[in-house]
Structures are given as C-alpha cells and as structure tokens.
Chains A and B, each alone.
Chain A
C-alpha cells in the first residue's frame, strides 16, 4: 500500500473536515455506516491460520473461510447474531469491568480527545467513548430495561451486520493503550471494551491475519516470527558473534540448558530485525559482563503474546509456555526482556492464569543479592529492574561518552506505563549510560504517554496511513524535542515500538533513530578484558 505523501497527510490532518478540526458531523453516528476500502482495514486472517488455531485443544476459532472486509457478504454463520449476543452475555457474567463500563459512562467527553486514533483521524467513532458506545448501544438494547422499553430514544440499537462491521473497523483502530482510562472519572478503560469486541468477533470468524498468524506461529514454533529452533539459535549466535567482533569479548550463551539459574525470555523480534537486534546485543553483552548463569529457550522463545489481542484462552495458552519451560529447565527465576504488551500479560495476567509458580524461587540477583519482592509471586522480573539494580550496586562500569553520538529521548510504552507502573527504572538507567537525554513534553510521557499508533497487532503495512495518523501525537512530541534539543534517538523498552516507531520516525521525523534502552547499556558498558574498536555508532557500528 503506497503511503500518502507527507505534505498531503500533514495538510489533511489539520484541515480535513473532521471532528478534531472542528467540523461537526451533521448525521447521527448511528446513521453513519462503516465503509471499507483498501487502506482502511487490516487484512482478514488466512484460512489455514484460523484452521490451525481452531484445531488446537482448548481453543476455538470457528468459521475459517475465504472472505474480505470490503466485500458485502462476510459469510457469517447463519446464527451469528445469537452467537454474538450469547457471547456478550457470557462476558458480562465473567467480567465485572465490562458491566461497570457499560453502565457507568456519563458521556462527559473527558476521554474524547485523549485517543491518538481520534487525534490523527478526526473520526468521531475513534473517540474512546464512541468506541465503547458501539457496543454499549447493543448492550442497552438487549440487556437493560431502559433500552428494552425506550429503544433508540435511550441510545439502544439492534445488533445488525452493519453494527458488526462497525465493531470490526473500530476495534482494530484501537491499540488498547489505556490512555483514555487515565482521564476517565470512573477509570473506564476502552481497551477492555476493545478486547471484548475482538473476542466477540472471533466467535463468528472475524479476525485479522497480522494477529492470528504470529499467534499461531508462536503456538507451534515458540515465537511470533515463526523461527524454528535452529534458526532462533543461529540468530542469537550471530548476534553474539557481532558483539565479540565489536568488543573483543567472547559471549557465552546457551539454549534450553537445564539447571541454569535464570531463564531469559524476550520478544523474538529482538533477534529477528533491526533495530531490535542491537537491543539483543545489549542483553548479551550485559549478561556476559556480569557472568549471569542464564539460558535462552527455543521453546519459550517469545516474550510477547499476540493472544492478548485475540481472546483470553489463546493468551493463556501461549503464556503458559513460560512457566512450563522454567519448570522443565529447573531454573530459579525468569528475566523478561524489553517489551510493552508482553509486560501487560506478565504483570497483570500471567500469575492469575498460569500460576502459582511455586517451583520457582523469589528472584534474587546473584550479583547484588537484591531480592525482588515486587515479583515474589510471579518470579519474573523486568530487565530494566534487573539492570537498574546492578547499576545501583556499582556492578557495572560505564563510559557514557560512548553514547555521545546519541542525543536521546525516552518513550514510555503504553503498557509498562499504564498497566505496570514501570517508568523510572529505564530513566534511571538512561541517567547512567548516556550523557545527553531529554524528556518530551509532560502531556506525552509517563502515564500520559502516546502510543506508537501500531500496537495490538496493527503493525501491518496495508494500513500504513492509518498508523502514521495514529502515531502523529507521538511523532509530534518527538519532533518537539528534535527541534528544541537536536534529539536524534528515540529510546524505549518495547519490541513492537522498535519496529513501529522506526516507520513512524522515517515518515514524520526522518533522521531520528529508535533503540532499546539495553542497546544504550551495551554501548556504554566497559567490559572486562575488552578489546574494543572505535565504535562511532556503538553496537550498530559496521566493522
């Protein structure tokens, strides 16, 4: 999909007739159907991917078929409506959050302009409150007294194919970033609503390939990229060799090794493509330097979890590999790499779904002796927590001037910020490894951070314009510090970000790179016995 030119999009965002530029739609939203055309929807899941997932024990992904969102007939099962309404009823009974969020919204509009999709597209249905109303209207119609008696007057509407199509469109224009939830007086989290919508859509076979393919890969090969064990190992070996070439220090790492103290799991994207590769090199250098007794796993070779973007069952099934592998290998605890949605699952879901991990020990750094009580139950800690603790105890020697080619800023990924509260560990690390880094404006960082615009499996090329629009608030904040402070590097702790922000920067702010915090750690690390060349670009230097 050819992406619209920068000048054109810049104009269109500001001047195009949209609710965010002041043009008020004259039609009621219920009378405005969703129209699919190339570029405004992510491709439907391939038949074989849906079939594969459906064939797995414990999973249900029915109605695999050839179809396309821009065709009229979506080939839904005959009783699709009963399935959806029944599915909604079940979820209302299973999730208090859903009930409360359906009942309590007062349409105050505090969330309206907090969503990056709304800011970038101006589409009124991208206001979080509207997104939720798409479901709420059906909920009113079938599950509330007022809706049953008063119908449309009370904001109720019947479930129709048109409504279902609208759900599809707008639940895939939400990255479940939770920014809206921060501003809502009742904490209504439209991400939860989006999750429910996506679950409901899967019940009738409506899903996108960019999510279901990685998810099925992850189930089979252990990681989203579909790297088979030998390839996964090759990739890591290759990175280890690179580190050795650059620093002169031989990297000792292992795979599926029983009896290691630590199992290390990171998103497979880190060993697959730039710039994530450099972050992975940073991990390798760091672990080597401190002599950590750890192993990679090819079976649990994915930190991320695209199940989170489909339904609870798949999320649980994919996540379960982590504990299963930790148990099989007999490690003491798990360290997780840099990734946003991965940590949403690890922090808020894993223990509940797949715990208790009583075969593991409360994480205790063998280097500093620190006991990580905050992970006393999950037994899994974040690489930034681990690294910050090492720095605090002076276990690492840095030469921050090795990062002097970098003038960095820091992007809080949605999930660590708003679903975990991990904000200052990466900043603490940055303070020690780079001489120059600055914050973006305060309404765009920490709990108010803006999404990259392509999370929750929307990192697919066919919706590039949508992604660039949704990423605009983030890109704009970066531009601010580029103009003001000559920033040339956007650091983050998220593998999806490393991919998506790269496209975003190339589009809106060409010349600004993207890196993981661990890459900057690796750059600045003074290693024992090193024989380092002049690395003008740190771990990225070509030698």
Chain B
C-alpha cells in the first residue's frame, strides 16, 4: 500500500509537470520559478535543519566504542574504532561517510532448532547503498556541466571515467545503470526483507520512487528522446539559471520539464525528510566524539551545579550509633548517654 501510494504520487507529479508545461506561458513556471524556489527551499531548509541540530548541545560524551580504547601502553588500541584524537575521529568519520563502514559490519542472524542462533556476514545492504549513493553523487557532479560554460576539466574527467565502457552513442554512463539498479535493489529489499518491510513508511518508499522517476526521465532524454528536446536551449536555460539570467528561447520538450520538476520536488522535499541523514551523519555524537573522556573533561552547558549528593553529614547523623558500635570512624562523636552521665 505504502509503496503503491508512492508510485501514485510520483505519477501525479509527472502529470502535473507534463500537462502544466504544455500550457503556453507556463514554461517559466516550470523551467525557472519552481527550480529557483526548490533550490531556495533546499538550501534554506538544509541550513535551518543543521542549525536546529547545532542549537542543542551535546551534554555528554556518548561515543560508541567499537574497539579497544587507549589505556596502558602495552595494550594495543584500536585507533579507528575507538578514536582518541581529532585525526583519529576524522579517519573514523571519513570511512563511515565514504565507505559506509558500519554497514560493512552487518550480519544476518538466523534461528535454528536447538535453539541455535547463527550470524552470517551480510553485505548486501552495504553494496546496494554504495552503488546507489556513488552513482547519485557522480550523476550530480556530471550535471554540473550543464550549468557551467566552459565546462571545467574535473567534470570532463568524471564524465570520461563514467563513460569508460564506450558503449553506444551517446555513450552509456555506468552511473545511469548504477542509479537505477541501486534504486531497484533498495526498493526490492524493502519489499522482500520482512524486517525492513515491516518498518518501512511512505517516507521510505517515496524518495526512492521519486529518484527512480528522475533517473528514468533523465535516461529517456539522453538516450531515447533526444530528438524531442533541444539540448542547446536546455544548456542555455541552465547556465542562465546558474548566472541568474534565465531565458527560455524556444520549445524545449515536455520530458525536460518533467525531469526538472521531479528534481525540484526532491530538492524541496529533502530538508523535511529522512534524506537529511546526509547532514546528520556528520553530527552523530556516537561516532564523532573522542573516547578520551576520563582524560579530558567534557563540559555540559546545562549541568546543574545545585544537585548535591545526599550529604555525608546526613548519612552519619542517621547511622552514627551503628557506625560507632562497629568501629567505623565518624566525624562527630555520639552525645554522652544520659544514664552514664
């Protein structure tokens, strides 16, 4: 149901863009106004969300240690999984962000008669996620060529690498396959893995379907509907967008408007969704803190200095007699007993 709804939603978006862009005069809405608005929402929203996070302090050092910490010099420590210095934290974060290291650890558990539980390494999620994210990243970078004139060398280099296989004309980009494959695999996993299916929300299916829509419209444009679009005008429009002088000089083709509309929706949706994990992964205290907390004091801005222990004096007052009897030293002696006086 939830995934069906996501498809419906994306189909509706496609129809809106398709029909809308056909209405004379609406090109500017779909080609200029909405993209600008989406970018504003994306940037503004992203910054706002990150600032909202940053506003809350990190009161306690809650690093999750995944290896031996620094202690005695003859105990070999794990610098990566139990970082003690800034550079070690950076190394840990780098591998987390660029190699999805925690997912690499993933295991699958199974219950057998006995009972017996087994754990097997399971790297599918790691693999799917890598395919998806890296394809996405390269595609985003490649698209920068459309906004730049002249196209910088590094973008050309990326394109060259991506077109490595030299198949077809226009040459096939590996990442185009990668992105579609990644989405399909992640989506398929959501449907077939019972755990994941159970926890999935519309919020999880929708972005996948949306990205699939973007990928397919992009691929159609590049490989199949080339004659329907005017690439020169598209480039002119996009460079215009980037330089804040957008012009739409001629008919561009509906497929382009659909593509750019879906991208706009993704951008605007981004800051208000789980996609913010892009920012959050950098700020997660369990991963980005040093495990040096007994050596260097961490400060909690809202630590309440007025919270005091139940006082020793109060404790001794309650138990003094017993303490004296048992020969435990006390601060205040017992009052002399009346009958002895």
Q: Which residues of A contact B (CB under 8 A)?
A: 10, 13-14, 19-22, 24-25, 29, 56-58, 92-101, 103-110, 112-114, 119, 124, 127, 129-130, 133, 144-146, 153-155, 178, 181-189, 192, 219-222, 228-230, 233-234, 255-258, 298-299, 313, 316-318, 320-321, 324-325, 328, 346-349, 351-353, 355-356, 370, 372-378, 380, 385, 388-389, 392, 417-425, 428, 441, 443-444, 446-448, 472-473, 476
B109 touches A113 (CB 8 A): yes
| Contacting residues, chain B, for A346 (C-beta < 8 A) | 294
10 more contacts with CB within 8 A, not counting A113-B195, A355-B297, A417-B65, are: A29-B198, A58-B306, A110-B103, A183-B103, A185-B102, A299-B312, A317-B308, A320-B309, A421-B71, A476-B114
B312 touches A328 (CB 8 A): yes
Pick from B114, B199, B277, B310: contact of A186, CB under 8 Å: B277
Interface segment, B18-26, B28-36, B228-236, B279-287?
Answer: B279-287
Nearest B residue to A146 by beta-carbon distance? B272
Tell me the dominant secondary structure on chain B's binding face.
loop
* A317 and B72 in contact, given A97-B285, A421-B67 (Cβ under 8 angstroms): no
A476 touches B64 (CB 8 A): no
* A478 CA to B96 CA, complexed, in Å: 32
Pick from B56, B193, B286, B319: contact of A94, CB under 8 Å: B56
A423 touches B67 (CB 8 A): yes
Pick from A13, A100, A258 the residue with the most CB of B within 10 Å: A100
- Chain B, 62-80, contact with A by CB distance < 8 Å: what is the 0/1 string? 1111111111101111100
B201 touches A351 (CB 8 A): no
A220 to chain B, nearest CB (A): 7
Indicate if B142 sits at the interface (CB-CB under 8 A): no
Pick from B69, B299, B310: contact of A56, CB under 8 Å: B310
A229 touches B294 (CB 8 A): no
Pick from A97, A107, A298, A328: contact of B323, CB under 8 Å: A298
* A21 CA to B109 CA, complexed, in Å: 10
Pick from A56, A155, A347: contact of B293, CB under 8 Å: A347
| Contacting residues, chain A, for B116 (C-beta < 8 A) | 476
* A113 CA to B331 CA, complexed, in Å: 55
Indicate if B158 sits at the interface (CB-CB under 8 A): no
| Range, interface on chain B | 35 or more
* A178 and B71 in contact, given A100-B280, A373-B295 (Cβ under 8 angstroms): no
| Contacting residues, chain A, for B96 (C-beta < 8 A) | 185, 187
B245 to chain A, nearest CB (A): 33
* A186 and B272 in contact, given A229-B322, A321-B309 (Cβ under 8 angstroms): no
A418 to chain B, nearest CB (A): 6
A425 touches B75 (CB 8 A): yes
B323 touches A186 (CB 8 A): no
17 A-B pairs with C-beta separation under 8 A: A14-B113, A95-B59, A96-B283, A97-B284, A104-B280, A110-B125, A182-B64, A187-B96, A188-B286, A189-B286, A230-B319, A233-B328, A255-B328, A352-B303, A377-B294, A388-B75, A444-B119
| Contacting residues, chain A, for B82 (C-beta < 8 A) | 421
A150 to chain B, nearest CB (A): 8
B281 touches A256 (CB 8 A): no
* A324 CA to B108 CA, complexed, in Å: 47
Indicate if B150 sits at the interface (CB-CB under 8 A): no
B299 to chain A, nearest CB (A): 7
Nearest B residue to A153 by beta-carbon distance? B202
| Contacting residues, chain A, for B222 (C-beta < 8 A) | none
* A469 CA to B262 CA, complexed, in Å: 48
B293 touches A96 (CB 8 A): no
| Contacting residues, chain A, for B277 (C-beta < 8 A) | 103-106, 185-186
| Contacting residues, chain A, for B81 (C-beta < 8 A) | 447
B284 touches A186 (CB 8 A): yes
Pick from B78, B114, B199 the residue with the most CB of A within 10 Å: B199
| Contacting residues, chain A, for B100 (C-beta < 8 A) | 185
Indicate if B200 sits at the interface (CB-CB under 8 A): yes
| Contacting residues, chain A, for B106 (C-beta < 8 A) | 110, 183
A133 touches B199 (CB 8 A): yes
Nearest B residue to A178 by beta-carbon distance? B64
B108 to chain A, nearest CB (A): 7
| Contacting residues, chain A, for B312 (C-beta < 8 A) | 299, 324-325, 328
Indicate if B60 sits at the interface (CB-CB under 8 A): yes
* A187 CA to B284 CA, complexed, in Å: 7
Pick from A220, A374, A420: contact of B295, CB under 8 Å: A374
A105 touches B328 (CB 8 A): no
* A317 and B307 in contact, given A14-B114, A97-B286, A230-B322 (Cβ under 8 angstroms): yes
B114 touches A188 (CB 8 A): no
B281 touches A186 (CB 8 A): yes
| Contacting residues, chain B, for A57 (C-beta < 8 A) | 308
Pick from A20, A233, A348, A376: contact of B60, CB under 8 Å: A348
| Contacting residues, chain B, for A324 (C-beta < 8 A) | 309, 311-312
B307 touches A182 (CB 8 A): no
| Contacting residues, chain A, for B65 (C-beta < 8 A) | 417-421, 447
5 smallest beta-carbon distances between A and B, as pairs: A421-B69, A104-B280, A187-B286, A421-B65, A320-B309
* A375 CA to B201 CA, complexed, in Å: 45
| Contacting residues, chain A, for B70 (C-beta < 8 A) | 374, 421
